[in-house]
Structure formats: structure tokens, C-alpha cells
Structure 1
Amino acid sequence: MSTFKKTVGKLHLWLGLASGLVVFIVSLTGAIFVFQDDIRDLTEPWRKVEVQQSAYVLPSRLQAAALAQHPGVDAATTWVTYFGPERSATVFFIDKDDLPIQVYLNPYTGQVLHEQNLRTHFFTIIQEIHMHLLLPEAVAKWVVGISISIFVVMMLTGLVLWWPKRKQERKQRFTIKWGARWRRINYDLHNVLGFYAASIGLVLALSGLFMLYPWLLEPLVLAVDGGKPAPQEIMKTKLDTLQPATAATQPLPDIVYRQVRRLSPTHEMVLLGPTGTGKAPAFCWTYQKALHYYHRDEYAFHPVSGQLLETRFHATKSAGTKLSDMNYDLHVGQILGFGGKTVAFLVSLICASLPVTGTIVWWGRRNKSKKKKLRLQAV
């Protein structure tokens, strides 16, 4: 083995031992989370409703129904989401006990279907472990971020170590020798599966890092856009609070909802953010397909009058911005539908297995080296 490969091997080993546990936990919880919408649709009947020919009720009515059992919660702090014709709408808020509450309602009638404390919900806990390892966010951001960054290096160094010098060796490197001893099978599981999973694993790892550190995505967006983002890509709505504004005669969420429905009529999902204190714009996002976050239009409104201040339509976005919008759907595989999620699930499981099989390989070599030294001493 060349000096270069020996150096790469040591780097691969020690980085793997340092990050292995975090990579295992993050990859395993990621695999579980991939099909969370599909599993919840099967186990939570309140997520679906019967399609009706009538129009949806307005968001102010949903807010009133959701908050009826929670006096003291300000409707201006809630998030309202319409998910599409076959799905219930939701109102999300933090209650007086500081609990994250999500209320499911029939969007055609405003009837409350179910109320959920997200703090104790299984997939919320899985997501929290995946993102923060149940650590304080400020600490977890670095623990997870550094470990996944190391994992990216691990996949690259693993490819360097795996790649054979001679063509005749390549065939055996692509297959697992199931009839061999268990140590050899474990070795092949680490190397062969690691090779097949590397390209998708890099996409999953990098898209996760982009969510942890959005600034990492900016150079990629700039590169795709040729180095200069178009002015319309930068949505930083400025609000002049000193300028008097005429108060809206209707609830602000209803004004916002009506306008975005008119401007994005074919979009299934509508997410209305909190209208706040009147000192910052009210934002709304519409998505072409329910539970998919790539193809979206973005809106900013005056928080007092409801006047439309700024828009950013998907059709007018640059290629770099569209790539940025695609990041979450890439991360969970749903950009390619059920097949994409299946691939993301399998690759996540393989990524979770790599620290385990790698540690077994290292432990076996370590014991082999000790036994060899003992034999030499005995002689």
C-alpha cells in the first residue's frame, strides 16, 4: 500500500471512530423519518377528509375553532396550513404552558378533528433526535454539523481506499462474498455497500448540512446562477412603520388567503405565517403539491392594511434559487416520489451500518495485531 493510501486510511479510521456514534444515530433516525407522512396517513385518520365541492372556510374561522379551548392564545401568533382537497387543515401554536399544539380541522366546515401535543409525538421526537440529538440547539448544531462534515470526508476517503489499482480486481470489489467467513462478509458489507451508497449518501449529508448552515448553500446557488443573483431573488421586504396605514376591515389572515389563492390558483398547499405585532411583514407561502416544499411562491404583506408588498413566484426564480428551494425534498428523497423516498431510506440504513461494520473491521485488525505480537514474543 502506498504512503498516500496509508495516510488516507489512518484519516478514515480516526475520523470514523470520532464521528461514528453521531452518524449512526442521525442516519437511523433519518431512515425512520423518511416515510413519516406515509405512516401517519395510515395511523392518523384525522389527517384526511372527504373531498367536497364547497370552498374552504377562511383561516380566521379555523383559528377561532382551534383556539376555542385555549383562551389567552393570540390568533396573530398561529400558523395556518391548508394541505389540499383530501387533507385536513392545521392550526399550530404555542399554548400558555409552552407546549407546541397542532389542531387538525376539516377545511370545508371548520370542525375540529383532533388536537396533538407535538412535544410527545413520536415523529417529532425522532426529528428532534435527528437534528439535535436532544441536546441544546446551540450545542447540537456543532456536534451534528461537525460529525456529518466528517462523514462527508469519510465517504470520499472511503472511495479512495476502496478503488482498486487493477481492472481484474474491480469485479470482486463490487460484490459481497456471502459464502466467506463472517469477518470477510462484514468487510464486504462495509466496503461494497459503502461504495454503492456513497453518491446518494453525499447528497443526503450535504443537503442536511445546508439546513444546519444555510450559508454553505450560498456559494452553490451563486455558482449555478453564474456568480450574480438577480435582484428579484433577494426577498427582504422593508416595512416603514412610521408611515401610517389604514387598518384592514377584515381579519388579516383572510385578506392574505384570498389574495394568494387568486395569484397561485393551482397550488394545493398554503402556509400562512403569524401576522405578528404589526411591526414586521406578514408572510405566506403556497406550494404546488401537498407535503412537497420545492415548487413554491412566496408573498409578503403589510401587517396592518394587508397590502401586498412583495412576491417571488417559482416560475421567475433563477436555477440556483430553485435548487435551494429543492433542498428539503432532496434530503428526504421525496423529490422523486415514493421511489426516491425508498432510495433515501435504504441509503440512510446503509449509512447507519457503516460505523458499525467499520468498527468491527478495526476491532478485528486490532486483535489480530495483538495476537501476532504475542506469538512473536512466545517465539
Structure 2
Amino acid sequence: MSFLDKPQPLWWRKALFQIHLWVGLFAGLYAIVIGISGSILVFKQELAALTYPHLMRAPNPDRPERADLFTVMVRARTAYPDFRLSGGYLPGVGSDNVLVYMQGDGGRELFVMADPSDGHLLGALDIESSWLHWVSDLHIHLLLGLPGYVVNAIGAGLLLLLSLTGLVLWWPGIRRWPQALIVDFRRSWRRINFDLHSAAGFYTLAFVVMWSISGINFVFPQQVAAVVNVFSSVEGGREPEIHIKAQRRSADLSAVLGQAVRNFPAGRLAGVYLGEDANHPITVFLSRGRRNDFTRMDYVYFHPESGRQLAVWHSGVNPTLGSTFVFWLSPLHFGVNWGQGIKTLWALLGLSLPALAVTGALMYWNRYLGRRWKRLRSAAAKSEAPVA
């Protein structure tokens, strides 16, 4: 008897089944939450436009884009003096308008929007007041703050374990494996539920593994890179770490933006991020394709005090297999760079996580809890029956 022919009686497969069962029950709620929230966030920009059309949609879409990013950022700083500038992005990156990202005391965050045709301010959105911010916080931090970030990585690890054990458990034997790829809706609902769990788990396996590894990578990028680096260099696949010692952030932002555009004329200005403080570089984004496609973006780094160029990273230019692997973890996780068709597919695939959790829980009910419940009800009925 071998695993290829008849795997069900093997002791180690039974052990993997117990691991799969109890990890699945433990992580089921996590899979439901992360799957539904992730599917919503695939359409975050579209949902934001529906929720805040006066801020996210261009008021004069037929007019040419003439707004100057630096000028808009200065206007935003003047209009909202209690907030400090953190970044600015031209149309296509986050909305149809010019977007200025600002931060205030107590972690407050503000999106200030401007008309791309002339640069006049349209208003501001307090990010914490947005329901999409709540969904994003749920997906990223599980509403637990920074500790939730680590909990999320642990949950991603459990999903990876479920995927790998599930693949082994899915294999029914060399003669029966074609049947495990389909759902026979002529059978009983219990069998249909089993087939749905089995077939959905197989067809979505590669995506769940990808989401699991990328979820771990978001929290522990150094550790993931170290593992990949054993097999192939990750050099070039990750944004470089630039360490700076500066007294203050005093560089002329207008000059920095102009220098970036002159030094890389093939790129198109997409935005700028000013960094968390003076110990982080100013990053100018120059797109080699669409402005919202960060897989084809040049990151040009400048000293926050002197304004001199420090480095450049050509996002998407990966010289090795390892660099390609670590680079694509993030874009593939989100699935927002390749049009509405891929976004719809990603959203539907994300819903496979709650589907697998629910069908798995129903299987446990059918095999154990449901029968135990019937026995308990039967015993209770007998104890309440009158004695002749």
C-alpha cells in the first residue's frame, strides 16, 4: 500500500488530518475576516470614489492636467497648518485628483484633494472617519493596533500550513484523483459540501500559498529575504534601506522634484514621499508606465537636509530569480495593477477563504459534532421519558 495508490489508511496522513482539522477550526474566523476584508480592499479606490465623489473624482475631467504638485502641497500646508506634509501624488495614484497626504498629532491623517486642472483645493478627508480605513485596519492589524500586525503574520503562517496539509489530504489516489476536481451536485448536501471544500481548496491552492507567504513577508521581510537568499540572491528585488543622520528636513522640495525629473527624463512624475522624519530620505516616484503601476516605478532618493541625490531603485528590474520572487510578492498580494478583470478575479478568489472555512466547519459538524449532538439529544429525551 502506498500514498499514490491508497493514501487514506496511512498513519501519517491521519496525523496530518488532525493537524489540518484543528488548525482549520482555530484559524477559521481569521480566514473569514481576512478573506472578506481583502476582497473589499481590492476595489478600495473605486469604493472611495463612490463614497466621496466630491473628493475622489475630478471636477473637470475634460480639462488638461496642469496642476503643479509642489504648488498644491504648499497650498495644503497653508490651508491645514496643524498638519505636516508627508507626501503628494498626481492623478492616477489613489484618486482622479491630486492627493496630498498630511499627518497631525496623535496619529491623525488627512488626505487633501486638489483639482488636477488648476490645482485649487477641493477639500480634505480625515482618514480615520472613513469606513474603508476601518476595513483596512481590520485586514492589516485585525483592529488590534501594532500587535495585530504580528498576529496577522501568524495567521498567514497557519493558512500556509493548512494549504500544504490540505494538498496532501486532497490526494485521493491515482485512480480517483479526477473525481476530486469536480463537484457532483446530484449527491447529498453533505457530499456536495465535501466536494466543494476539496475542489475549491485545490483550485485556489496557489493563490492561498501566495497570499500566505506575502502576508508573512509584510511583517518579517528580512527573515523571508534571508530564506530566499539561500537559494538565489534577492539583490534588486527589495527597496533599499538608506540610513541617514540629518539635523532637520530642510531640502528645497521644488528643487528636489525638478532634479529627479531632469535626471530621469524617461520617467513621469507620479509623486513624492517625504519620509517619517529627518532620518529618512525624500523619495520621488517616477513612473515608467501608468502612474498607479508601482511595478514599473523608479524610486529616486534624496537627502532630506542637503537635497542631494542618494540612490535610485528601479522597481520591477530584477536580475535574479530570488529578486523576482521577493519583488512580486507584494503586487501579486494586492492584484490591483492589471485592470478590472484581474481585480474581480482576485476579489472572488479572496472569498474562497471564507468559503473554505465554512465548508470545513460543516464537514466537522457532519462527521463529529452533528452526531454527538444527536446522541446528546437522544439521551436527554430518554431521561425525560416517563417511567411506566
1:61-72 alignment runs, 5 A limit: 61-72=71-82
Deviation at 1:98, TM superposition (A): 4.3
Q: Is the 8 A contact 1:21 1:355 kept in 2?
A: yes
* RMSD of aligned alpha carbons: 3.2
- Rounded to whole Å, the distance in 1 between the matches of 2:351 and 2:226 is 30
Specify whether residues 275 and 184 from structure 1 end up closer, same or farther in structure 2 by C-alpha distance, changes over 3 A only. closer
Deviation at 1:3, TM superposition (A): 0.7
- Rounded to whole Å, the distance in 1 between the matches of 2:263 and 2:73 is 23
Among residues 190, 198, 202, which one is paired with 2:205 in the alignment?
198
Residues 33-72 of structure 1, C-alpha deviations (whole Å, 9 max, x = no match): 112223334554333432655643141x212322333223
What does residue 339 of structure 2 align with? 337
What does residue 6 of structure 2 align with? none
Deviation at 1:324, TM superposition (A): 3.4
Q: Is the 8 A contact 2:316 2:327 kept in 1?
A: no
1:161 correspondence with 2:172: no
1:102 is paired with a residue of what secondary structure?
A: strand
Q: Is the 8 A contact 1:241 1:279 kept in 2?
A: yes
What does residue 274 of structure 1 align with? 274
What does residue 240 of structure 2 align with? 235
What does residue 136 of structure 1 align with? 145
1:126 correspondence with 2:131: no
- Rounded to whole Å, the distance in 2 between the matches of 1:98 and 1:136 is 12
1:283 correspondence with 2:307: no
Q: Which ranges of 4 or more aligned residues in structure 1 deviate by more than 6 Å?
A: 371-374
Specify whether residues 110 and 254 from structure 1 end up closer, same or farther in structure 2 by C-alpha distance, changes over 3 A only. same
Residue identity matched to 2:286: T
1:68 is paired with a residue of what secondary structure?
A: helix
Deviation at 1:275, TM superposition (A): 6.4
TM-score normalised to structure 1 length:
0.84
1:257 correspondence with 2:257: yes
1:116 is paired with a residue of what secondary structure?
A: strand
1:305 is paired with a residue of what secondary structure?
A: coil
Deviation at 1:296, TM superposition (A): 1.8
Deviation at 1:304, TM superposition (A): 2.8
1:107 is paired with a residue of what secondary structure?
A: coil
What does residue 15 of structure 2 align with? 7
Specify whether residues 42 and 266 from structure 1 end up closer, same or farther in structure 2 by C-alpha distance, changes over 3 A only. farther
Specify whether residues 120 and 135 from structure 1 end up closer, same or farther in structure 2 by C-alpha distance, changes over 3 A only. same
1:296 correspondence with 2:304: no
Residues 231-255 of structure 1, C-alpha deviations (whole Å, 9 max, x = no match): x97834454659xx9x86xxx2211
Specify whether residues 335 and 201 from structure 1 end up closer, same or farther in structure 2 by C-alpha distance, changes over 3 A only. farther
Q: Is the 8 A contact 2:246 2:305 kept in 1?
A: no
What does residue 364 of structure 1 align with? 366
Unmatched segments (≥5 aa) in structure 1: none
1:56 correspondence with 2:92: no
Among residues 100, 124, 134, which one is paired with 1:91 in the alignment?
100
- Rounded to whole Å, the distance in 2 between the matches of 1:233 and 1:37 is 25
Deviation at 1:162, TM superposition (A): 1.2
1:171-186 alignment runs, 5 A limit: 171-186=178-193
Specify whether residues 130 and 112 from structure 1 end up closer, same or farther in structure 2 by C-alpha distance, changes over 3 A only. same
- Rounded to whole Å, the distance in 1 between the matches of 2:91 and 2:65 is 16
Residues 327-369 of structure 1, C-alpha deviations (whole Å, 9 max, x = no match): 3321022344333222221211011111111111111111465
Specify whether residues 321 and 159 from structure 1 end up closer, same or farther in structure 2 by C-alpha distance, changes over 3 A only. closer
Q: Is the 8 A contact 1:100 1:117 kept in 2?
A: yes
- Rounded to whole Å, the distance in 1 between the matches of 2:255 and 2:267 is 17
Q: Is the 8 A contact 1:100 1:118 kept in 2?
A: yes
Deviation at 1:177, TM superposition (A): 1.6
Residue identity matched to 2:46: D
Q: Is the 8 A contact 1:272 1:285 kept in 2?
A: yes
What does residue 313 of structure 1 align with? 314
Residue identity matched to 1:66: A
TM-score normalised to structure 2 length:
0.82
- Choose 153-162 or 265-274, whichever is displaced more: 265-274
